[in-house]
């Protein structure tokens, strides 16, 4: 496999790094060509980046990318970098450096990771339906010890990860925002036989 080419589900995609290299070879800086990026928006949930390919002061192609910080493990620490790379890839595609394929390899990998995340969530919701129901009922009734026991001792670490990091807007999300706030409290974490639990991942 040629360096800079990745194969995903039987199809080949050029990495953004390879396409930038091809761009520099065909459209050198010495002749006035450039790639620039601009951060359009960022908050605790997402970032949006715009990339522009220009010749002198004349834009020749642009691309936008939006990345959610909870979409993957990489995005939790590097959502801005991922968005910038994807935006550059789409800008290069706009000037023909991606054939007819606008999705960069990074974007495709992110999409596949998101699909895998949803699949894991579906499995966890089915597998731990009794525990989820018990946790929700316990919170409603104020019986945090029972809910804490069901969460910490009844669900394995992979199940917790899938359920806790479910996309907030997903219909599959097992817990409401209010329920999650209760689960993050010291009272909930320590009510299971008084054992201290770390707040971060509720693992």
CA distances from 5 to 20, 88, 185 (A): 13, 17, 47
Question: What pLDDT digit, counting tens, does each position of 148-184 carry?
Answer: 999 999 999 999 999 998 876 668 889 999 999 999 9
Cα 79 from Cα 141, distance rounded (Å): 39
What is the chain's alpha carbon radius of gyration, rounded to the nearest angstrom?
A: 22
Lowest mean pLDDT among 65-69, 165-169, 191-195: 191-195
H/E stretch holding 5: strand 5-8
Q: Quick one: how far is CA 112 from the chain centroid?
A: 11
CA atoms lying within 13 Å on the CB side of residue 167:
17
Which residue has 């800086």 as its token pair?
29
Measured distance between the N- and C-terminal CA atoms of the chain, rounded to whole angstroms = 40
Q: Quick one: how far is CA 46 from the chain centroid?
A: 9
Cα 38 from Cα 160, distance rounded (Å): 37
Question: What pLDDT digit, counting tens, does each position of 124-142 carry?
Answer: 999 999 999 999 999 999 9
Beta strands, E only, 18-157: 33-42, 46-55, 58-68
Over range 194-200, report the average pLDDT.
48
**What residues does each domain of the chain span?**
5-110, 128-190
Q: Are residues 148 and 191 in contact, defined by beta-carbon separation less than 8 angstroms?
A: yes
């Amino acid at each position: 496999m040629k360096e800079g080419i990745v194969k995903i589900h039987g199809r080949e995609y050029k990495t953004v790094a390879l396409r930038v290299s091809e761009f520099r070879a065909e459209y050198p800086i010495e002749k006035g060509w450039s790639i620039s990026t601009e951060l359009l928006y960022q908050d605790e949930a997402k970032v949006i980046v715009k990339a522009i390919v220009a010749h002198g002061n004349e834009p020749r192609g642009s691309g936008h990318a939006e990345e959610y910080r909870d979409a993957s493990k990489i995005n939790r620490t590097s959502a801005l970098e991922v968005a910038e790379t994807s935006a550059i890839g789409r800008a290069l595609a706009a000037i023909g450096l991606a054939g007819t394929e606008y999705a960069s390899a990074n974007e495709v990998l992110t999409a596949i990771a998101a699909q895998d995340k949803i699949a894991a969530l579906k499995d966890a919701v089915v597998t731990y339906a009794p525990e989820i129901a018990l946790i929700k009922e316990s919170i409603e009734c104020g019986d945090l010890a029972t809910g804490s026991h069901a969460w910490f001792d009844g669900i394995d670490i992979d199940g917790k990860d899938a359920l806790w990091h479910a996309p907030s807007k997903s219909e599959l999300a097992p817990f409401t925002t209010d329920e999650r706030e209760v689960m993050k409290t010291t009272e909930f974490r320590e009510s299971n036989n008084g054992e201290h639990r770390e707040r971060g991942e509720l693992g």
